[in-house]
Amino acid sequence: MKVGIINITGYAGSELARILYRHPEVEITSVTGRSAAGQQLNEVFPHLSAMDLTIEPELSGSLDLVFSALPHKASAEACIPELEKGVKVVDISADFRLKQADEYAEWYGVDHPDPTYLEEAVYGLTELHRHDVRESRLVANPGCYPTSAILALAPAVAQGIITQDVIVDSKSGVSGGGRSLTMTNHFSEVNENVFAYALGGHRHLPEITQELGNLSDETLNLTFLTHLIPMTRGILSSSYATLANPSEWTGDEGKKRIMDLYQDYYADDPFVQVVPVPPQTKQTLGNNLCLVHPTIDQRTGRLMVISCLDNLVKGAAGQAVQNMNVMCGFPEETSLEALAVYP
């Protein structure tokens, strides 16, 4: 199968190439990058020197599927012509994630290039929409934060065991901010430092409420706050929710039942592991797992869920390949089998 990558020169794009390098069904035949057009891929990314590719200004040749790793708006504008040529698309940007065009406009500050695709697009959190992904030609790959938050809360929301009061406190490494230069990725500014940002509301919030809203009749009253911590890869989200009936979840029995509930929910999902001890982002470095640990704060009757993942893999390129595998009928784990690089 011939695959193209639009904007390989960012971190999501280069990570796609790394993951697809050994995919037995895929040949990457065309890659683009805005600033680096004309350069060999290995000049920009020496770690990809095993791949002999020239970065082009535009995709070339006949392709079966395209990944786009462009920023929002530019991504939709690049994807739609591919769709119209009959090419399947996995879009890593935010452009097809939200179902409501007005919500897109509110959070992203621009009108959507073509809202007619919003209904058709499948939100590619594979674990929630595997069936739809299988039938789709346009998958909107989820944001990195929402992947960690939705997987942490979906079982509890779907089972109706929590009230609408939910707080998600997320901690992210720096690579989630991309490869473009900003003061918030200057090493001297972010090393030995931690801070909260986007206190007025992070753009990933509406994805979380949309997707969890689909699982329940109630609307979440969600506070979602993001923090930058001094590491390159990884997101850890700590989610807090009020139990509807705390008295049902007391003691060790309560902790065991919440583990069971989560394990049942994800029993058929190879990339979600419900783990018995609090997980660490390092346990996911370079691989496609989301680790989830639910427990009960006995003093307060709250559900606490710790979830983590590699923001460039399960939070971006890995999940995109997972979606491609499902869309194309390959085994879901193909090319995603690597264990985490630890320590």
- Known catalytic membership, residue 290: no
Of 161, 236, 272, 309, the residue at the interface with a second copy (CB under 8 A) is 236
Query: Which residue, among 277, 290, 281, 273, has the nearest Cα to 343 in the 3D structure?
Result: 281
* Among 11-19, 69-77, 80-88, 317-325, the segment contacting a second copy (CB under 8 A): 11-19
Distance CA 21, CA 221 (A): 42
Of 35, 60, 62, 221, the residue at the interface with a second copy (CB under 8 A) is 221
Give the active site residue among 79, 144, 290, 308: 144
Of 18, 73, 129, 314, the residue at the interface with a second copy (CB under 8 A) is 18
Is the previous residue joined to 343 through a cis bond, with omega within 30 degrees of 0? yes
Interaction residues for a second copy, span 307-336 (CB under 8 A): 308
Token pair belonging to 265:
């929910």
Q: Which helix (H) or strand (E) holds 145?
A: helix 144-158
Interaction residues for a second copy, span 273-292 (CB under 8 A): 273, 275, 277-286, 291
Nearer to a second copy, 141 or 209 (CB): 209
Q: Which residues of 202-229 are buried (b: 16+ CB within 10 A; e: fewer)?
A: bbbbbbbbbbbeebbeeebebebbbebb
Of 135, 181, 268, 329, the residue at the interface with a second copy (CB under 8 A) is 181
Residue 210 engages a second copy in binding (rule: CB under 8 A) = no
* Among 114-122, 136-144, 147-155, 165-173, the segment contacting a second copy (CB under 8 A): 165-173
Q: How far is the CB of 254 from a second copy (least distance, A)?
A: 13
Distance CA 306, CA 289 (A): 14
Specify whether the CB–CB gap between 166 and 219 falls below 8 A. no
Residue 35 engages a second copy in binding (rule: CB under 8 A) = no
